[in-house]
Amino acid sequence: MGVHHADAPSSTASERLVSVDAYRGFVMLAMVSSGLGLQKLMNDPHWRWLANQFEHRPWEGWTFWDLIQPSFMFIVGVAMPFSFALRHARGETWGQQFVHAVQRSLTLIALGLFLDAFASNPPTITIAFIRVLQQIAIGYLIAFLVLHRGTGVQALTAAALLVLHTAAFLLFAQNHSFEPWDKGFNFGVALDRWLHLPLSKGGYVTFNAISSTSTILFGVLCGELLRSKTTPARKLLILLAAGLGGLLAGSALTPLVPMVKRLWTASFTLYAPGWTYLMLGAFYGVVDVLHYRRWTFPLVVVGMNSIAIYVAAGTLTEPIRKALRPFANPFLQHLAEEWQPVALSVLVTASLWLFCYWLYRHRIFFKV
């Protein structure tokens, strides 16, 4: 991991899009806030509809909360064309860029393993690749291999990975006479057992990295579009069309391949980026087409230090919560019981934001 002291984090002003930083900040704030504790409102008849959107679906289907990790991975892909174009402009060869991609992937894996160990009780290092940073590390490296091949190859690779992922589950199930998407036993579970990797209680599997690489590649395609010389209005139309296309394609595939985020099935891989294209399109339209930017500052502060806030959330959330509780309790007691966790989560998230703001003010940007 590198620490940069600069006027802007390793990018030229012309290469940065405020909408991308703002959208990344929105995604990261949603992720580190853990839904602002809104899950506690599930028993409130007036707010159950909102609380439900901050719970993962047990298996099939999706909620807003199920879209956060795909958005995180998608935005990693969006940044790749910008980042490696800058490296190319600096004179780096493909080999030098490949070494950087490998180093970044290894750093993300190490960081993911550290955060997993930190979260376990007692702290235990377990080699596992089902967590978001490890999955990004695998997908990032695969995506790099086709990054310089053009959008056609990138799109075909994304499609081929989805076909490979689906075929593996279907053929394995056919040979063993059981349902391909069964939570208890499927190709992904069998592969993890064969590799002697720990099994996830939630049904997540390492093989998700194959289909989630397609999510990163959809982000790469988006990044290529945003870097192109196409007019902003046309870019916006393409983003909206791609979003609607993803929603339609994912929905159409669902009767054949159920939408299971925990297995990152092909239908989910198409549907989730559909929403991501639409959400990023909304940011792009307001910020970079209509030029309403001032409101994005709180999001940009986080978006420019996404790794920092992710690590801070994984290591400091509970210490911050414990430190704030004695001071917050006199005020929290005036709230209904179910709203007290929500208010405390808002304070914790605000504290994490202030940490990012301090880094921003001192021009400190963490890069991996």
Quote the pTM value: 0.91
Higher local confidence (pLDDT), 279 or 118: 279
Kindly state the tokens that stand for 364: 């400190």
pLDDT of residue 9: 42
What's the pLDDT at 2? 57
What are 235-288's pLDDT values in tens digits?
999 999 999 999 999 999 999 999 999 999 999 999 999 999 999 999 999 999
Q: Is the Cα torsion angle 254, 255, 260, 266 positive or negative in sign?
A: negative
13 has a pLDDT exceeding 50: no
**Alpha-carbon gap, residue 240 to 232, rounded angstroms:** 12
Please state, in angstroms and rounded to a whole number, the distance separating the CA atoms of residues 99 and 111.
18
Beta bridge partners of 339: none
Instruction: Average the pLDDT over each of 221-225, 277-281, 308-312 and give the range with the smallest value.
Output: 308-312
**Structure-token pair, residue 198:** 């720990």
Amino acid identity of residue 17, one-letter, is L
Amino acid at 154: Q
| CA dist., res. 299 & res. 6, Å (int) | 19
Mean pLDDT, range 44-56, rounded to an integer: 81
**Residue with token string 């290092």:** 125
Decide if pLDDT at 165 tops 60: yes
Helices (H), the chain: 18-32, 48-52, 68-89, 94-119, 132-145, 151-176, 187-194, 208-227, 232-253, 266-284, 297-303, 306-332, 340-361
Which of 26, 27, 24, 29 is closest to 9 using CA atoms? 24
- With a pLDDT cut of 70, the percent of the chain lying above it is 95
Please give the mean pLDDT across all residues of the chain: 89
Residue 297 has pLDDT above 50, yes or no: yes
Is the model's pLDDT at 20 over the cut of 90? yes
Structure token digits, residue 166: 């689906």
Token pair recorded at residue 55: 């719970």
What pLDDT score was predicted for residue 281?
Answer: 95
- pLDDT grade, residue 123 (50/70/90)? low
pLDDT at residue 54 above 90?
A: no
pLDDT digit string, tens, across residues 91-104:
999 999 999 999 99
* Cα radius of gyration (the chain): 21
pLDDT at residue number 193: 92
What residues contact 119, with CB distance under 8 A and at least 6 apart? Answer: 314
Q: How confident is the model at residue 43 (pLDDT cuts 50, 70, 90)?
A: confident
Amino acid (one-letter) located at 124: T
In the chain, % of residues over pLDDT 90: 65
Which pair of structure tokens corresponds to residue 42? 């599930």
Q: What is the pLDDT of residue 6?
A: 53
